[in-house]
Structure 1
């Protein structure tokens, strides 16, 4: 989703119509350009990550949010995002992520629907084994919409690690007041 072309305009209209003001992060001006993970190794990143905190996203409605990444033979990444809805049912969507430039492997584009431009997926920081900090931002004319996720290999993450990741987001120009904790309780019992 780069905001160019008619598909970007249609998506913008849909987002504005569907998202209550408090459920999305709109800002004036262009997207910030935070530094990304140096020497990112996409192979080490594969596996399941659990959402610990996020900027609100209209497309996330449930709890027990998690993403599973697996490397495909052509070098792209299969993405499977899953959540538990309030009625107890599981909701999942699959897509494909691609490294945008081989010189910057931590900058990926993710696509879940044919005909819609890739959404940005920037890995700002990860140790591959316990945490990941992901940022996504799309420019639309005079404003931008951004998303951020703090992810963990387990359903909990140490407070000191979260604090360090908050510092990285803040230095990138992200408003931390909008971050919300993700609910990862009672997930195993529900099969999430």
Structure 2
């Protein structure tokens, strides 16, 4: 009886510890004067590294809003194969200070992955125009923009930063934005 109780307690502790975990294999430098209110709204996915939950999608957008103490994330893309829109809703919370652009994001229950804003392009008024986001490691990366396209200079600047992080430009999927 005692052995069974110990197993149950150990299992419960393991479950609690993993539910609070944020997957963050590789910390990258992030924007440290981050202003969430300027990041809210809709972003168009310009490029990404391949991963199963967006595979085959075009016209991908990410929309961020605030609900209470969390950031609501709605990712949406069009599947040509299924001729239908696919949408996923997640929640995000800052890891540490809310002016440092490192958040934990969950689309799948209690498990969180890191969302690290490595670089931002701003206009003259300080509005955010383009963003380079790295996930919990360099197997996840996104180039996002307020518009459906970015300039060649911004694109090359982000590619250079990704290369320094060990991300091969050849691995990027350039998302079709009709």
In the superposition, the TM-score normalised over structure 1's length comes to 0.72
Given candidates 80, 85, 90, the residue that maps to 2:85 is 90
CA distance in 1, matches of 2:38, 2:90: 19
Tell me the residue number matched to 1:46: 40
The equivalent of 2:167 in structure 1 is: 174
Aligned to 1:58: 52
CA shift for structure 1 position 51: 0.5
Structure 2 portions without partners, runs of 5+: 1-13, 19-23
What is the aligned length?
152
Map of 1:78 onto structure 2? 72
2:95 match: secondary structure: strand
SS at match of 1:112: strand
Instruction: Tell me which residue corresponds to 1:33.
Output: 27
1:157 corresponds, among 150, 170, 173, to 150
Structure 1 vs Structure 2 CA RMSD: 2.2
1:68 is aligned, of 63, 68, 87, to 63
Tell me the alpha carbon deviations over residues 84-135 of structure 1, each in whole angstroms, 9 at most, x when there is no partner: 11132111011101101117621101111223x2111000011343100000
- SS of aligned partner of 1:105: coil
Greater Rg, structure 1 or structure 2?
2
Could you tell me which residue of structure 2 aligns to residue 130 of structure 1?
129
SS of 1:34 mapped into structure 2: coil
SS in 2 for 1:59: helix
Alpha-carbon separation, structure 2, partners of 1:103 and 1:45:
12
Moved over 6 A (4+): none
Q: Secondary structure at the match of 1:70?
A: strand
Aligned to 1:141: none
Deviation at 1:73, TM superposition (A): 2.3
Conservation of the 8 A alpha-carbon contact between 1:134 and 1:149: yes
Give TM-score, length-normalised by structure 2: 0.77
Instruction: Answer yes or no: is the 8 Å Cα contact 2:30–2:100 preserved in 1.
Output: no
Residues 145-173 of structure 1, C-alpha deviation per residue, up to 9 Å, x if partnerless?
62100001011111110001111111222
Find the aligned partners of 2:109 and 2:173 in 1 and give their Cα distance: 30
Match of 1:105 in 2: 100
